[in-house]
Amino acid sequence: MLENNLWYQNSIFYEVHTRAFSDSNQDGIGDLNGLTQKLDYLKSLGVDCIWLLPIYPSPLKDDGYDISDFYNVHPDLGTLEDFKKLVEETHRRGMRIIADLVVNHTSDQCRWFQEAQSNPDSPYHQYYVWNDTPEKYRGARIIFIDSETSNWTWSEKAGKYYWHRFYACQPDLNYDNPAVREELKSIMRFWLDMGIDGFRADAVPYLFEREGTNCENLPETHAFLKELRRLMDAEYPGRILLAEANQWPRDLRAYFGDGDEFHMAFRFPLMPRMFMAIAKGDSTAIVDNLDQSPEIPANCQWCTFLRNHDELTVEMVTSEERQFLWDFYAPEPRMRLNLGIRRRLAPLLNGDIDKIELLYAILFSLPGAPIIYYGDEIGMGDNIWLNDRDGVRTPMQWSAKANGGFSEKLTGNLYLPVIQEGKFGYPQVNVEAQINDPNSLFNRLRRLITVRKSHPAFSRQEIEILYRDQPEIFAVQFSESGGKIICIHNLSSRVQDIVLPDLQCNLLTQSTNQTKYGIDLPAGKISLEPYAYVWLSHCL
């Protein structure tokens, strides 16, 4: 196994929806063997760690986040043997792999819930949260506001209401029950014993409920999560827990504890602010957020991202900021979902490859380990006419062949339709074409990844923000042994003239749209093209 227990601090992560990635058996559904066949592709992009969306048996009412059996693989995707092979092959290539751990709830089709409903004396009855009325825990918000009106649903069979923070088909587990806490630990051991490198833990703020609170981030929840960390450290050192907690900065910071809870957490509050900054041509939103972000323990790391498999959430912004983001990025009602925007990265930026490259450069210059959502490395489009969040989960576009090279199934439907029309259709946007084009998004991103990986100092937490009085610019400086690194980005549509601090620097990399004539390092001057960036190193 690969050594270095802090590996996650400077890794490039990649989020895979197995169902969407590559179909090895022509049934129109991506599968584990299909993913295994594409590992060399991920390696060539520079990926260090894969995060798999849920791969477990499920009725797929929430695309696999409604698990009916936590100890198996969904038959559409393959077998436990296929899974083991995927893990082995990933490791053989020097990469790692983590799996989704859905902690908060099960599917209503899970055997536990079926028994819980039909038999109040079954031990499984106590696996869930019941009440005679829907009045308890009124302080808890509803998350899926477009489809649910209450966190309680009546069970005819049980003659009681059960508690759920997401869809009604996802009953919450009762973490006050020690048997549930032990069950979760068995689930973790089951998958860790198969060699995975950790978990992305889903929806962790909601594990316990207490009257008079909003039932989020409770001390009981943190205490239990620390217990899980102790299990990892004692039995599986070097494996990680990554938190999905869409919370305000102070509440989010708590998931790192004193370095004894999560190793990593998604940096939710920063994400919408990057979109705000590029829309306004003004870095203030990013800078303010960085200024206000609490420090995190030395053994932890942020996981930074632009997009993922969910809607682009705009919950953790002010109502004016939310309105701005909706108006700018989701002008059509179908583009909105709950409090978010169901669009992919490339369409959000109108397919403007320079802007996409710029946002990736900003992401890569920030403290944290970046994660790329499958398909966003080639600028895939979305389909807002599909249900729920399916529009951002369409088949990976590998080539200009039928089905975008995703599947050789030629009759009947794929699990979701491939995007074929318009500028984001697979004839235009696909891996094969981009690998062969040095200026493609894929190759631009690959170059950025290579540069970032050649300077491990990118994983540090201490940055200094430069050019604060020039809000069109977002620039950060940090130190490494050979001198300072300075990353300067122009968020605006106008050329920006930069006068460098009194330093001699080398050019580390620059955006594809930056002319080399605009960079005069001996004179300490840079004319930064619209939406361009320049990264400098060895600044002394």
- Active site (catalytic) residues: 202, 244
> Which is nearest to 65 in space by CA: 310, 383, 314, 337?
310
List the one residue from 108, 148, 216, 310 that touches ligand BGC (CB under 6 A). Answer: 310
Q: Which of residues 314-333 bind ligand BGC (CB under 6 A)?
A: none
Residue nearest to ligand BGC (CB): 65
List the one residue from 23, 216, 244, 472 that touches ligand BGC (CB under 6 A). Answer: 244
- 62 binding ligand BGC? (CB under 6 A): yes
In the complex, the smallest distance separating the C-beta of residue 108 from ligand BGC, rounded to whole angstroms, is 13
In the complex, the smallest distance separating the C-beta of residue 65 from ligand BGC, rounded to whole angstroms, is 3
In the complex, the smallest distance separating the C-beta of residue 141 from ligand BGC, rounded to whole angstroms, is 14
Q: Which of residues 271-290 bind ligand BGC (CB under 6 A)?
A: none
In the complex, the smallest distance separating the C-beta of residue 165 from ligand BGC, rounded to whole angstroms, is 8
Residue 393 three-state SS: coil
- 311 binding ligand BGC? (CB under 6 A): no
> Which is nearest to 60 in space by CA: 23, 19, 16, 116?
19
Those residues whose C-beta lies under 8 Å from the C-beta of residue 127, and which sit 6 or more positions away, are 106, 112, 113, 116, 173, 174, 177, 179, 180, 183
Toward ligand BGC, which CB reaches closer, 66 or 472?
A: 66
Longest Cα separation, the chain: 80
Handedness of CA 87, 110, 182, 104 (dihedral sign): positive
List the one residue from 14, 21, 65, 175 that touches ligand BGC (CB under 6 A). Answer: 65
Toward ligand BGC, which CB reaches closer, 315 or 480?
A: 315
- 166 binding ligand BGC? (CB under 6 A): yes
CA separation for the pair 348, 326 (Å, rounded) = 11
Instruction: Give the residues across from 302 on adjacent strands.
Output: 265
In the complex, the smallest distance separating the C-beta of residue 51 from ligand BGC, rounded to whole angstroms, is 11
Those residues whose C-beta lies under 8 Å from the C-beta of residue 409, and which sit 6 or more positions away, are 23, 26, 27, 28, 403
Toward ligand BGC, which CB reaches closer, 23 or 310?
A: 310
Give the chain's length.
540
Toward ligand BGC, which CB reaches closer, 106 or 403?
A: 106
Q: Can you tell me which residue has the tokens 């399916």?
A: 390
- 16 binding ligand BGC? (CB under 6 A): no
In the complex, the smallest distance separating the C-beta of residue 120 from ligand BGC, rounded to whole angstroms, is 26
Using CB under 6 A as the criterion, what x/- string covers residues 89-118 for binding ligand BGC? -------------x----------------
Toward ligand BGC, which CB reaches closer, 203 or 356?
A: 203
- 240 binding ligand BGC? (CB under 6 A): no
Site residue total, ligand BGC (CB under 6 A): 9
In the complex, the smallest distance separating the C-beta of residue 145 from ligand BGC, rounded to whole angstroms, is 13
Handedness of CA 32, 34, 35, 40 (dihedral sign): positive
- 202 binding ligand BGC? (CB under 6 A): yes
- 203 binding ligand BGC? (CB under 6 A): yes
In the complex, the smallest distance separating the C-beta of residue 309 from ligand BGC, rounded to whole angstroms, is 6
* Under 8 Å between Cβ of 359 and 373: no
- 140 binding ligand BGC? (CB under 6 A): no
> Which is nearest to 240 in space by CA: 374, 143, 97, 362?
97
Long-range contacts: 184-187, Cβ < 8 Å, 24+? Answer: 184/103, 184/228, 185/228, 185/231, 187/70, 187/71, 187/101
CA separation for the pair 497, 510 (Å, rounded) = 15
Toward ligand BGC, which CB reaches closer, 165 or 484?
A: 165
Toward ligand BGC, which CB reaches closer, 311 or 377?
A: 311
The amino acid that residue 70 corresponds to is F
Please give the angle made by the CA atoms of 47, 52 and 58, to the nearest 5 degrees.
Answer: 165
In the complex, the smallest distance separating the C-beta of residue 290 from ligand BGC, rounded to whole angstroms, is 24
- 373 binding ligand BGC? (CB under 6 A): no
Residue 317, φ and ψ in degrees, nearest 5? -135, 170
> Which is nearest to 242 in space by CA: 342, 351, 371, 145?
371
Radius of gyration for the chain, computed over Cα atoms and rounded to the nearest angstrom: 23
Toward ligand BGC, which CB reaches closer, 65 or 224?
A: 65
Toward ligand BGC, which CB reaches closer, 62 or 376?
A: 62
| List of residues contacting ligand BGC (CB under 6 A) | 62, 65, 102, 166, 202-203, 244, 309-310
